[in-house]
Structure 1
Protein backbone atom coordinates (compact mmCIF):
# COMPACT_ATOMS: atom_id res chain seq x y z
CA UNK A 1 0.00 0.00 0.00
CA UNK A 2 1.56 3.29 -1.11
CA UNK A 3 1.27 6.41 1.02
CA UNK A 4 2.15 10.04 0.48
CA UNK A 5 5.81 10.61 1.52
CA UNK A 6 4.92 13.74 3.50
CA UNK A 7 2.34 11.78 5.47
CA UNK A 8 4.82 9.00 6.14
CA UNK A 9 7.46 11.37 7.53
CA UNK A 10 4.98 13.38 9.61
CA UNK A 11 3.45 10.21 11.06
CA UNK A 12 6.91 8.87 11.87
CA UNK A 13 7.76 12.11 13.65
CA UNK A 14 4.56 12.12 15.72
CA UNK A 15 5.02 8.46 16.66
CA UNK A 16 8.62 8.98 17.69
CA UNK A 17 7.66 12.08 19.69
CA UNK A 18 5.38 9.85 21.75
CA UNK A 19 8.06 7.17 22.12
CA UNK A 20 10.67 9.71 23.20
CA UNK A 21 8.25 11.23 25.71
CA UNK A 22 7.92 7.76 27.23
CA UNK A 23 11.69 7.29 27.31
CA UNK A 24 12.06 10.71 28.92
CA UNK A 25 9.72 9.63 31.71
CA UNK A 26 11.69 6.40 32.09
CA UNK A 27 14.97 8.29 32.46
CA UNK A 28 13.41 10.29 35.30
CA UNK A 29 13.56 7.03 37.24
CA UNK A 30 16.89 5.66 35.98
CA UNK A 31 18.72 8.99 35.57
CA UNK A 32 20.46 7.87 32.41
CA UNK A 33 19.73 9.99 29.36
CA UNK A 34 21.56 7.57 27.07
CA UNK A 35 18.09 6.07 26.67
CA UNK A 36 17.64 8.77 24.02
CA UNK A 37 20.58 7.45 21.99
CA UNK A 38 19.42 3.83 22.10
CA UNK A 39 15.85 4.95 21.40
CA UNK A 40 17.03 6.86 18.33
CA UNK A 41 18.64 3.73 16.89
CA UNK A 42 15.60 1.54 17.54
CA UNK A 43 13.27 4.24 16.26
CA UNK A 44 15.20 4.61 13.02
CA UNK A 45 14.97 0.87 12.35
CA UNK A 46 11.24 0.79 13.08
CA UNK A 47 10.59 3.86 10.93
CA UNK A 48 12.44 2.51 7.90
CA UNK A 49 10.69 -0.86 8.21
CA UNK A 50 7.38 0.99 8.20
CA UNK A 51 8.43 3.04 5.16
CA UNK A 52 9.31 -0.16 3.34
CA UNK A 53 5.89 -1.63 4.11
CA UNK A 54 4.08 1.48 2.88
CA UNK A 55 6.24 2.82 0.04
CA UNK A 56 5.70 2.19 -3.65
CA UNK A 57 9.27 1.44 -4.73
CA UNK A 58 10.96 -1.70 -5.99
CA UNK A 59 10.57 -4.63 -3.56
CA UNK A 60 14.26 -5.57 -3.63
CA UNK A 61 15.25 -1.95 -3.06
CA UNK A 62 12.93 -1.78 -0.05
CA UNK A 63 14.45 -4.95 1.37
CA UNK A 64 17.92 -3.48 0.84
CA UNK A 65 16.92 -0.39 2.83
CA UNK A 66 15.66 -2.54 5.71
CA UNK A 67 18.84 -4.62 5.78
CA UNK A 68 21.10 -1.58 5.67
CA UNK A 69 19.34 0.32 8.47
CA UNK A 70 19.11 -2.83 10.61
CA UNK A 71 22.84 -3.52 10.35
CA UNK A 72 23.87 0.11 10.83
CA UNK A 73 21.49 1.20 13.59
CA UNK A 74 21.30 -2.25 15.17
CA UNK A 75 25.06 -2.44 15.67
CA UNK A 76 25.23 1.13 16.93
CA UNK A 77 22.28 0.65 19.27
CA UNK A 78 23.69 -2.54 20.79
CA UNK A 79 27.07 -0.85 21.24
CA UNK A 80 25.46 2.11 23.03
CA UNK A 81 23.24 -0.18 25.10
CA UNK A 82 26.19 -2.00 26.64
CA UNK A 83 28.69 0.87 26.57
CA UNK A 84 26.52 3.59 28.10
CA UNK A 85 23.33 2.13 29.54
CA UNK A 86 23.24 -1.36 31.06
CA UNK A 87 25.02 -1.29 34.39
CA UNK A 88 26.73 2.01 33.55
CA UNK A 89 26.68 5.44 35.13
CA UNK A 90 25.23 8.22 33.02
CA UNK A 91 27.56 9.55 30.33
CA UNK A 92 29.57 12.58 31.43
CA UNK A 93 28.10 14.83 28.74
CA UNK A 94 24.60 14.29 30.12
CA UNK A 95 25.73 14.85 33.69
CA UNK A 96 27.32 18.10 32.54
CA UNK A 97 24.11 19.19 30.81
CA UNK A 98 22.05 18.47 33.92
CA UNK A 99 24.42 20.60 35.99
CA UNK A 100 24.34 23.45 33.46
CA UNK A 101 20.55 23.39 33.16
CA UNK A 102 19.95 23.51 36.90
CA UNK A 103 16.27 23.86 37.83
CA UNK A 104 15.25 23.75 34.18
CA UNK A 105 16.91 20.37 33.74
CA UNK A 106 13.70 18.32 33.42
CA UNK A 107 12.11 20.61 30.86
CA UNK A 108 15.29 20.98 28.80
CA UNK A 109 15.95 17.25 28.92
CA UNK A 110 12.42 16.72 27.62
CA UNK A 111 13.29 19.06 24.76
CA UNK A 112 16.45 17.07 24.09
CA UNK A 113 14.50 13.81 23.92
CA UNK A 114 11.97 15.47 21.62
CA UNK A 115 14.85 16.55 19.40
CA UNK A 116 15.70 12.87 18.91
CA UNK A 117 12.22 12.31 17.47
CA UNK A 118 12.88 15.05 14.92
CA UNK A 119 16.29 13.48 14.24
CA UNK A 120 14.67 10.13 13.44
CA UNK A 121 12.42 11.86 10.91
CA UNK A 122 15.38 13.72 9.39
CA UNK A 123 17.75 10.77 9.14
CA UNK A 124 15.05 8.48 7.84
CA UNK A 125 14.74 10.62 4.68
CA UNK A 126 17.50 8.84 2.70
CA UNK A 127 15.78 5.52 3.36
CA UNK A 128 12.42 6.97 2.33
CA UNK A 129 13.91 8.10 -0.98
CA UNK A 130 15.47 4.66 -1.38
CA UNK A 131 12.18 2.83 -0.74
CA UNK A 132 10.19 5.10 -3.08
CA UNK A 133 12.43 4.42 -6.10
CA UNK A 134 10.82 1.94 -8.54
CA UNK A 135 14.15 1.13 -10.25
CA UNK A 136 15.80 -2.25 -9.39
CA UNK A 137 18.70 -1.73 -6.94
CA UNK A 138 21.62 -3.34 -8.74
CA UNK A 139 23.03 -0.59 -10.96
CA UNK A 140 26.54 0.85 -10.85
CA UNK A 141 25.64 3.67 -8.47
CA UNK A 142 24.21 1.17 -5.99
CA UNK A 143 27.43 -0.83 -6.14
CA UNK A 144 29.53 2.28 -5.50
CA UNK A 145 27.21 3.36 -2.70
CA UNK A 146 27.32 -0.11 -1.18
CA UNK A 147 31.13 -0.02 -1.14
CA UNK A 148 31.05 3.33 0.68
CA UNK A 149 28.49 1.91 3.10
CA UNK A 150 30.54 -1.22 3.87
CA UNK A 151 33.72 0.79 4.44
CA UNK A 152 31.90 3.29 6.66
CA UNK A 153 29.88 0.89 8.81
CA UNK A 154 32.82 -1.48 9.11
CA UNK A 155 35.20 1.35 9.96
CA UNK A 156 32.93 2.67 12.68
CA UNK A 157 32.60 -0.79 14.20
CA UNK A 158 36.38 -1.29 14.16
CA UNK A 159 36.99 2.12 15.77
CA UNK A 160 34.46 1.39 18.53
CA UNK A 161 36.01 -2.01 19.23
CA UNK A 162 39.55 -0.61 19.29
CA UNK A 163 38.57 2.06 21.80
CA UNK A 164 36.65 -0.42 23.96
CA UNK A 165 39.62 -2.82 24.01
CA UNK A 166 41.97 0.02 24.96
CA UNK A 167 39.73 1.23 27.78
CA UNK A 168 39.25 -2.30 29.11
CA UNK A 169 42.87 -2.34 30.29
CA UNK A 170 43.15 -0.73 33.77
CA UNK A 171 46.56 0.75 32.92
CA UNK A 172 44.95 2.81 30.14
CA UNK A 173 42.25 4.40 32.28
CA UNK A 174 43.75 7.90 32.15
CA UNK A 175 45.68 7.54 28.89
CA UNK A 176 44.89 8.64 25.35
CA UNK A 177 44.08 5.90 22.85
CA UNK A 178 46.38 6.15 19.83
CA UNK A 179 45.99 2.59 18.65
CA UNK A 180 44.66 1.48 15.28
CA UNK A 181 42.43 4.04 13.62
CA UNK A 182 42.83 6.35 16.61
CA UNK A 183 46.43 6.94 15.54
CA UNK A 184 45.17 8.75 12.45
CA UNK A 185 42.11 10.55 13.83
CA UNK A 186 40.96 11.74 17.24
CA UNK A 187 37.43 10.65 16.33
CA UNK A 188 37.53 7.94 13.65
CA UNK A 189 34.17 6.59 14.79
CA UNK A 190 32.58 9.97 14.07
CA UNK A 191 34.29 10.16 10.68
CA UNK A 192 32.91 6.81 9.57
CA UNK A 193 29.48 7.67 11.01
CA UNK A 194 29.47 10.78 8.83
CA UNK A 195 30.81 8.90 5.79
CA UNK A 196 28.07 6.31 6.15
CA UNK A 197 25.36 8.88 5.38
CA UNK A 198 27.03 9.77 2.08
CA UNK A 199 26.50 6.19 0.91
CA UNK A 200 22.77 6.87 0.58
CA UNK A 201 23.41 10.06 -1.39
CA UNK A 202 25.36 7.98 -3.91
CA UNK A 203 22.87 5.11 -3.98
CA UNK A 204 19.90 7.37 -4.70
CA UNK A 205 21.39 9.48 -7.51
CA UNK A 206 18.64 10.07 -10.05
CA UNK A 207 15.86 9.10 -7.63
CA UNK A 208 12.85 11.35 -7.01
CA UNK A 209 13.62 13.45 -3.94
CA UNK A 210 17.38 12.87 -4.23
CA UNK A 211 18.25 16.30 -2.81
CA UNK A 212 16.57 15.30 0.46
CA UNK A 213 19.25 12.68 1.03
CA UNK A 214 21.85 15.45 1.39
CA UNK A 215 20.20 16.62 4.61
CA UNK A 216 21.45 13.55 6.49
CA UNK A 217 25.23 13.85 5.90
CA UNK A 218 25.13 17.64 6.17
CA UNK A 219 23.11 17.49 9.39
CA UNK A 220 25.26 14.73 10.85
CA UNK A 221 28.46 16.58 9.94
CA UNK A 222 27.23 19.73 11.67
CA UNK A 223 26.10 17.82 14.77
CA UNK A 224 29.37 15.91 15.09
CA UNK A 225 31.66 18.89 14.56
CA UNK A 226 29.68 21.64 16.29
CA UNK A 227 27.12 20.16 18.69
CA UNK A 228 26.79 16.66 20.12
CA UNK A 229 29.99 15.01 18.90
CA UNK A 230 33.48 16.45 19.04
CA UNK A 231 33.00 19.47 21.39
CA UNK A 232 31.66 17.56 24.44
CA UNK A 233 33.93 14.57 23.79
CA UNK A 234 37.04 16.76 23.68
CA UNK A 235 36.00 18.75 26.74
CA UNK A 236 35.63 15.52 28.68
CA UNK A 237 38.96 14.18 27.36
CA UNK A 238 40.80 17.35 28.37
CA UNK A 239 39.37 17.13 31.88
CA UNK A 240 40.41 13.50 32.26
CA UNK A 241 43.67 13.33 30.31
CA UNK A 242 45.02 16.87 30.42
CA UNK A 243 48.31 17.63 28.68
CA UNK A 244 48.51 14.26 26.96
CA UNK A 245 45.27 15.00 25.17
CA UNK A 246 46.39 18.55 24.32
CA UNK A 247 49.40 17.05 22.53
CA UNK A 248 47.04 14.62 20.81
CA UNK A 249 44.96 17.58 19.62
CA UNK A 250 48.00 19.34 18.17
CA UNK A 251 49.37 16.31 16.35
CA UNK A 252 46.32 14.34 15.21
CA UNK A 253 43.49 15.19 12.82
CA UNK A 254 40.18 15.87 14.56
CA UNK A 255 37.95 13.97 12.14
CA UNK A 256 39.31 12.87 8.76
CA UNK A 257 41.99 10.17 9.24
CA UNK A 258 45.45 11.38 8.25
CA UNK A 259 49.06 10.87 9.23
CA UNK A 260 49.83 12.64 12.54
CA UNK A 261 52.09 15.67 12.66
CA UNK A 262 55.42 15.24 14.50
CA UNK A 263 55.64 16.74 17.97
CA UNK A 264 59.06 18.18 18.88
CA UNK A 265 60.57 16.70 22.00
CA UNK A 266 62.67 19.77 22.71
CA UNK A 267 62.77 23.43 21.82
CA UNK A 268 65.75 25.27 20.54
Structure 2
Protein backbone atom coordinates (compact mmCIF):
# COMPACT_ATOMS: atom_id res chain seq x y z
CA UNK A 1 0.00 0.00 0.00
CA UNK A 2 1.43 3.41 -0.97
CA UNK A 3 1.49 6.48 1.23
CA UNK A 4 -1.64 8.14 -0.21
CA UNK A 5 -3.67 4.95 0.12
CA UNK A 6 -2.54 4.55 3.71
CA UNK A 7 -3.47 8.14 4.54
CA UNK A 8 -6.84 7.58 2.88
CA UNK A 9 -7.44 4.53 5.08
CA UNK A 10 -6.52 6.59 8.14
CA UNK A 11 -8.92 9.36 7.16
CA UNK A 12 -11.75 6.90 6.52
CA UNK A 13 -11.15 5.33 9.94
CA UNK A 14 -11.25 8.76 11.57
CA UNK A 15 -14.54 9.61 9.87
CA UNK A 16 -16.13 6.34 11.01
CA UNK A 17 -15.02 6.87 14.61
CA UNK A 18 -16.25 10.46 14.60
CA UNK A 19 -19.68 9.38 13.34
CA UNK A 20 -19.97 6.81 16.12
CA UNK A 21 -18.95 9.38 18.74
CA UNK A 22 -21.36 11.92 17.27
CA UNK A 23 -24.21 9.43 17.71
CA UNK A 24 -23.12 8.83 21.31
CA UNK A 25 -23.03 12.59 21.97
CA UNK A 26 -26.61 12.88 20.67
CA UNK A 27 -27.74 10.14 23.03
CA UNK A 28 -26.13 11.73 26.11
CA UNK A 29 -26.67 15.32 24.84
CA UNK A 30 -23.08 16.32 25.55
CA UNK A 31 -20.15 16.79 23.16
CA UNK A 32 -17.61 17.71 25.84
CA UNK A 33 -15.73 14.41 25.60
CA UNK A 34 -14.51 15.49 22.16
CA UNK A 35 -11.43 17.01 23.83
CA UNK A 36 -10.42 13.58 25.11
CA UNK A 37 -10.86 12.08 21.68
CA UNK A 38 -8.69 14.81 20.15
CA UNK A 39 -5.76 13.26 22.01
CA UNK A 40 -6.86 9.64 21.62
CA UNK A 41 -7.44 10.26 17.92
CA UNK A 42 -3.79 11.23 17.40
CA UNK A 43 -2.70 7.93 18.96
CA UNK A 44 -5.17 6.06 16.76
CA UNK A 45 -3.89 7.74 13.57
CA UNK A 46 -0.29 6.91 14.52
CA UNK A 47 -1.25 3.32 15.30
CA UNK A 48 -3.18 2.96 12.04
CA UNK A 49 -0.10 4.19 10.17
CA UNK A 50 2.14 1.81 12.08
CA UNK A 51 0.12 -1.32 11.26
CA UNK A 52 0.28 -0.38 7.57
CA UNK A 53 4.10 -0.19 7.65
CA UNK A 54 6.11 -3.21 6.49
CA UNK A 55 9.14 -4.09 8.61
CA UNK A 56 9.10 -0.94 10.80
CA UNK A 57 12.45 0.15 12.23
CA UNK A 58 13.51 2.16 15.26
CA UNK A 59 12.37 5.46 13.75
CA UNK A 60 8.83 4.23 13.08
CA UNK A 61 8.62 2.69 16.55
CA UNK A 62 9.84 5.93 18.15
CA UNK A 63 7.32 8.16 16.36
CA UNK A 64 4.50 5.75 17.16
CA UNK A 65 5.54 5.43 20.82
CA UNK A 66 5.84 9.20 21.35
CA UNK A 67 2.47 9.89 19.75
CA UNK A 68 0.76 7.06 21.63
CA UNK A 69 2.29 8.14 24.94
CA UNK A 70 1.19 11.74 24.44
CA UNK A 71 -2.29 10.82 23.19
CA UNK A 72 -3.16 8.13 25.73
CA UNK A 73 -1.86 10.15 28.69
CA UNK A 74 -3.66 13.36 27.73
CA UNK A 75 -6.80 11.62 26.47
CA UNK A 76 -7.20 9.70 29.72
CA UNK A 77 -6.60 12.84 31.77
CA UNK A 78 -9.26 14.76 29.82
CA UNK A 79 -11.73 11.87 29.82
CA UNK A 80 -11.52 11.43 33.59
CA UNK A 81 -11.89 15.17 34.07
CA UNK A 82 -15.01 15.16 31.90
CA UNK A 83 -16.47 12.22 33.81
CA UNK A 84 -15.93 14.11 37.06
CA UNK A 85 -16.96 17.63 36.03
CA UNK A 86 -19.64 16.92 33.41
CA UNK A 87 -20.61 19.25 30.57
CA UNK A 88 -17.87 21.71 29.62
CA UNK A 89 -19.26 25.29 29.82
CA UNK A 90 -17.45 26.19 26.59
CA UNK A 91 -19.29 23.56 24.59
CA UNK A 92 -22.55 24.28 26.40
CA UNK A 93 -22.26 27.89 25.22
CA UNK A 94 -21.36 26.89 21.65
CA UNK A 95 -24.22 24.42 21.42
CA UNK A 96 -26.68 26.80 23.05
CA UNK A 97 -25.84 29.58 20.61
CA UNK A 98 -26.25 27.26 17.61
CA UNK A 99 -29.57 25.94 18.84
CA UNK A 100 -31.10 29.20 20.07
CA UNK A 101 -29.77 31.73 17.56
CA UNK A 102 -29.32 29.56 14.48
CA UNK A 103 -32.25 27.24 15.03
CA UNK A 104 -30.24 24.03 14.85
CA UNK A 105 -31.27 20.78 16.45
CA UNK A 106 -28.86 19.31 18.99
CA UNK A 107 -27.82 16.62 16.51
CA UNK A 108 -27.05 19.12 13.75
CA UNK A 109 -25.22 21.49 16.09
CA UNK A 110 -23.14 18.63 17.48
CA UNK A 111 -22.20 17.54 13.98
CA UNK A 112 -21.41 20.96 12.50
CA UNK A 113 -20.03 22.80 15.53
CA UNK A 114 -18.01 19.95 17.04
CA UNK A 115 -17.40 16.62 15.35
CA UNK A 116 -17.25 17.46 11.63
CA UNK A 117 -14.78 20.32 12.00
CA UNK A 118 -12.50 18.21 14.19
CA UNK A 119 -11.93 15.58 11.49
CA UNK A 120 -9.68 17.62 9.13
CA UNK A 121 -8.02 19.51 11.99
CA UNK A 122 -7.03 16.36 13.88
CA UNK A 123 -5.85 14.69 10.69
CA UNK A 124 -3.69 17.67 9.69
CA UNK A 125 -2.13 18.20 13.12
CA UNK A 126 -1.24 14.50 13.24
CA UNK A 127 0.29 14.46 9.73
CA UNK A 128 3.93 14.57 10.94
CA UNK A 129 3.42 11.36 12.91
CA UNK A 130 1.46 9.63 10.15
CA UNK A 131 3.90 10.54 7.39
CA UNK A 132 6.95 9.89 9.52
CA UNK A 133 5.80 6.37 10.34
CA UNK A 134 4.67 5.55 6.80
CA UNK A 135 7.91 6.80 5.23
CA UNK A 136 10.35 5.53 7.86
CA UNK A 137 10.42 1.90 6.83
CA UNK A 138 13.28 0.14 8.59
CA UNK A 139 15.25 3.36 9.22
CA UNK A 140 16.97 4.01 12.52
CA UNK A 141 17.32 7.25 14.48
CA UNK A 142 19.46 10.10 13.18
CA UNK A 143 20.88 12.86 15.39
CA UNK A 144 17.99 15.12 14.39
CA UNK A 145 15.50 12.43 15.39
CA UNK A 146 17.21 11.94 18.74
CA UNK A 147 17.02 15.68 19.44
CA UNK A 148 13.35 15.64 18.47
CA UNK A 149 12.72 12.70 20.79
CA UNK A 150 14.24 14.60 23.71
CA UNK A 151 12.12 17.69 22.95
CA UNK A 152 8.95 15.60 22.69
CA UNK A 153 9.66 13.80 25.97
CA UNK A 154 10.34 17.11 27.71
CA UNK A 155 7.01 18.39 26.42
CA UNK A 156 5.11 15.29 27.55
CA UNK A 157 6.76 15.46 30.97
CA UNK A 158 6.16 19.20 31.30
CA UNK A 159 2.48 18.83 30.41
CA UNK A 160 2.01 15.85 32.72
CA UNK A 161 3.53 17.64 35.72
CA UNK A 162 1.53 20.78 34.99
CA UNK A 163 -1.73 18.81 34.84
CA UNK A 164 -0.90 17.00 38.09
CA UNK A 165 -0.18 20.29 39.86
CA UNK A 166 -3.42 21.83 38.60
CA UNK A 167 -5.44 18.77 39.62
CA UNK A 168 -3.99 18.89 43.15
CA UNK A 169 -4.67 22.64 43.33
CA UNK A 170 -8.32 22.23 42.32
CA UNK A 171 -8.79 19.38 44.81
CA UNK A 172 -7.81 21.65 47.71
CA UNK A 173 -10.92 23.50 49.05
CA UNK A 174 -8.67 26.38 50.14
CA UNK A 175 -7.83 27.06 46.47
CA UNK A 176 -11.36 28.08 45.51
CA UNK A 177 -11.29 31.43 43.69
CA UNK A 178 -7.49 31.59 43.83
CA UNK A 179 -4.83 31.41 41.12
CA UNK A 180 -2.28 28.61 40.86
CA UNK A 181 1.09 30.37 40.76
CA UNK A 182 3.48 27.74 42.10
CA UNK A 183 5.36 24.84 40.55
CA UNK A 184 5.54 25.07 36.76
CA UNK A 185 2.68 27.58 36.86
CA UNK A 186 5.11 30.06 38.42
CA UNK A 187 7.07 30.22 35.15
CA UNK A 188 4.30 30.02 32.54
CA UNK A 189 0.57 30.57 32.72
CA UNK A 190 0.03 27.54 30.49
CA UNK A 191 2.50 24.70 31.17
CA UNK A 192 0.08 22.17 29.69
CA UNK A 193 -0.16 24.08 26.40
CA UNK A 194 3.61 24.61 26.30
CA UNK A 195 3.99 20.85 26.79
CA UNK A 196 1.73 20.21 23.79
CA UNK A 197 3.80 22.66 21.76
CA UNK A 198 7.06 20.87 22.57
CA UNK A 199 5.58 17.40 22.08
CA UNK A 200 4.35 18.05 18.55
CA UNK A 201 7.31 20.08 17.34
CA UNK A 202 9.48 17.31 18.79
CA UNK A 203 7.53 14.62 16.91
CA UNK A 204 7.81 16.65 13.72
CA UNK A 205 11.58 16.90 14.23
CA UNK A 206 11.86 13.15 14.83
CA UNK A 207 10.15 12.55 11.47
CA UNK A 208 11.87 15.42 9.60
CA UNK A 209 14.71 13.26 8.14
CA UNK A 210 12.05 11.54 5.99
CA UNK A 211 12.12 14.51 3.62
CA UNK A 212 9.82 17.04 2.01
CA UNK A 213 6.43 15.41 2.77
CA UNK A 214 7.19 15.72 6.48
CA UNK A 215 8.65 19.21 6.01
CA UNK A 216 5.34 20.30 4.44
CA UNK A 217 3.50 18.60 7.32
CA UNK A 218 4.91 21.33 9.58
CA UNK A 219 1.51 22.89 8.90
CA UNK A 220 0.29 20.52 11.66
CA UNK A 221 2.37 21.82 14.58
CA UNK A 222 2.10 25.35 13.14
CA UNK A 223 -1.69 25.18 13.30
CA UNK A 224 -1.54 23.64 16.78
CA UNK A 225 0.78 26.43 17.95
CA UNK A 226 -1.62 29.06 16.58
CA UNK A 227 -4.55 27.34 18.26
CA UNK A 228 -2.82 27.13 21.64
CA UNK A 229 -1.39 30.65 21.68
CA UNK A 230 -3.81 32.76 19.64
CA UNK A 231 -7.16 31.06 19.11
CA UNK A 232 -9.06 28.57 21.28
CA UNK A 233 -6.34 27.75 23.80
CA UNK A 234 -4.81 30.40 26.05
CA UNK A 235 -6.92 33.42 24.90
CA UNK A 236 -10.28 31.72 25.49
CA UNK A 237 -9.22 30.29 28.85
CA UNK A 238 -7.74 33.56 30.09
CA UNK A 239 -10.85 35.51 29.15
CA UNK A 240 -12.84 33.32 31.53
CA UNK A 241 -10.21 33.36 34.28
CA UNK A 242 -9.94 37.16 34.28
CA UNK A 243 -13.68 37.36 34.85
CA UNK A 244 -13.83 34.76 37.62
CA UNK A 245 -10.55 35.25 39.51
CA UNK A 246 -9.70 38.78 40.74
CA UNK A 247 -6.02 37.92 41.24
CA UNK A 248 -5.54 36.72 37.67
CA UNK A 249 -4.70 40.18 36.30
CA UNK A 250 -1.76 40.43 38.71
CA UNK A 251 -0.73 36.88 37.79
CA UNK A 252 -0.62 37.94 34.13
CA UNK A 253 1.62 40.88 35.00
CA UNK A 254 4.29 38.74 36.63
CA UNK A 255 4.07 35.45 34.69
CA UNK A 256 5.06 34.56 31.14
CA UNK A 257 2.11 33.90 28.86
CA UNK A 258 3.50 30.78 27.20
CA UNK A 259 7.23 30.06 27.15
CA UNK A 260 8.62 29.37 30.66
CA UNK A 261 10.56 32.31 32.08
CA UNK A 262 11.49 33.54 35.57
CA UNK A 263 8.59 35.48 37.09
CA UNK A 264 8.72 39.24 36.88
CA UNK A 265 8.74 41.20 40.14
CA UNK A 266 7.43 44.67 40.82
CA UNK A 267 10.79 46.25 40.03
CA UNK A 268 10.82 44.67 36.60
CA UNK A 269 7.37 45.82 35.49
Q: TM-score, normalised by structure 2?
A: 0.88
Alignment deviations for residues 115-161 of structure 1 (CA, whole Å, 9 cap, x no partner): 22222311221112221124632321222111111111000000000
Q: Does 1:69 align with 2:67?
A: yes
Higher alpha-carbon deviation: 221-230 or 187-196 = 221-230
Mapped partners of 2:66, 2:220: distance in 1 = 15
Q: 1:239 to 1:129 in 2, by over 3 A?
A: same
Q: In angstroms, what is the RMSD of aligned CA positions? A: 2.0
In structure 1, the residue matched to 2:177 is 174
Three-state SS of the structure 2 residue aligned to 1:87 is helix
Q: Does 1:94 align with 2:95?
A: no
Contact 2:145/2:209 (CA < 8 Å) preserved in 1?
no
In structure 1, the residue matched to 2:110 is 109
Alignment deviations for residues 85-111 of structure 1 (CA, whole Å, 9 cap, x no partner): x13221121122223322336334312
Q: TM-score, normalised by structure 1?
A: 0.89
Alignment of 1:77-156 (within 5 A): 77-84=75-82, 86-101=83-98, 102=100, 103-104=103-104, 106=106, 107-111=108-112, 112-131=114-133, 132-134=135-137, 136-156=139-159
Unpaired runs of 5+ residues, structure 2, are none
In structure 2, the residue matched to 1:23 is 21
Q: 1:253 to 1:100 in 2, by over 3 A?
A: farther
Three-state SS of the structure 2 residue aligned to 1:176 is coil
Select 1:238's aligned residue among 235, 242, 248: 242
Mapped partners of 1:63, 1:76: distance in 2 = 20
Higher alpha-carbon deviation: 12-21 or 228-237 = 12-21
Contact 1:185/1:256 (CA < 8 Å) preserved in 2?
yes
In structure 1, the residue matched to 2:163 is 160
Higher alpha-carbon deviation: 15-24 or 66-75 = 15-24
Q: Does 1:258 align with 2:261?
A: yes
Q: Does 1:217 align with 2:215?
A: no
Q: Across the two proteins, how many residue pairs are aligned to each other?
A: 260
Select 1:36's aligned residue among 34, 38, 41: 34
Higher alpha-carbon deviation: 140-149 or 14-23 = 14-23
Three-state SS of the structure 2 residue aligned to 1:204 is helix
Mapped partners of 2:13, 2:65: distance in 1 = 22
Three-state SS of the structure 1 residue aligned to 2:208 is coil
1:199 Cα offset (Å): 0.8
Q: Does 1:193 align with 2:191?
A: no
Three-state SS of the structure 1 residue aligned to 2:178 is coil
